[in-house]
Amino acid sequence: MDKSQLEAVLLEVDAALAGAFPTSSPIKALVVGGACLVFCGVTSRQTNDIDCIIFDLMGSDEASLIFKTPLATKIRKVIMSIGSKHGFKGEKRMVVNDDCAPFLLELSSNELPNMRLFRAYQKIHLYVPDDLHYILACKLMAGRADKDFSDIAALCTLLTIHTRVQAQQAVDRFFPSSVHQRSHLLPETLDKLFEQ
């Protein structure tokens, strides 16, 4: 989906959530990954979903759709119904999801970056990081050549990151654990991206 398609899907998900949860507070979530870059105008590439980190699940004590609680299950069904309508199958029906949240929260010791409100719908309030160095750090830690390297290149251009040292500093700001960096093969990713 491109930006306009992502926005259209969000409107549909929001309307469906408003119908299913008319009196509940909105879901508040930080958009990460490719959708964040599309919304912020960094890239215009297609993406199949909106990856996010939920930090307020309709005012409940929960903060994720990953666990099979009654609330999360009901929200997932609403989202998957919209995904199905758009032709997605299986888990890809979760066009708005927080599947990446455990990975990113573990790396940051459950700390979220400073953020700003991007868009407030009735039942979904989406935020983006104040500093896109956070998304660069996420992409570098994920290090998937097929999914992340083109986004990393676009972010490096935007943020004037030209060296391995600058890239390492961006990661260190948000994910400082050298153990996590090594276990997620950051040194190897940096070797591939920044030739000596």
pLDDT tens column, 135-189: 999 999 998 888 889 999 999 999 999 999 999 999 999 999 999 999 999 999 9
pTM (predicted TM-score): 0.93
170 near 140, Cβ under 8 Å?
yes
In percent, the amount of the chain with pLDDT more than 70 equals 99
**In this predicted structure, what is the pLDDT of residue 144?**
86
Convert the pLDDT of each residue in 24-61 to its tens digit: 999 999 999 899 999 999 998 888 899 999 999 999 99
pLDDT higher than threshold 90 for residue 129: yes
Convert the pLDDT of each residue in 97-112 to its tens digit: 999 999 999 999 899 9
* Closest alpha carbon to 136 in 42, 29, 49: 42
Taking all residues of the chain, what is their mean pLDDT, rounded to a whole number? 94
Convert the pLDDT of each residue in 65-84 to its tens digit: 999 999 999 999 999 999 99
pLDDT higher than threshold 80 for residue 94: yes
* Closest alpha carbon to 54 in 108, 120, 105, 107: 105
Partners of 30 in the β-ladder: 53, 127
pLDDT higher than threshold 80 for residue 195: no
Strands (DSSP E) along the chain, which ranges?
Answer: 27-31, 50-57, 96-97, 115-120, 124-129
Structure tokens at 182: 């090594």
pLDDT higher than threshold 90 for residue 96: yes
**In this predicted structure, what is the pLDDT of residue 40?**
94
* Closest alpha carbon to 77 in 62, 59, 95: 95
Task: Count how many residues are written for the chain.
Answer: 196
**In this predicted structure, what is the pLDDT of residue 64?**
92
pLDDT higher than threshold 70 for residue 196: no
Bridging pattern class, strands 115-120 and 50-57: unpaired
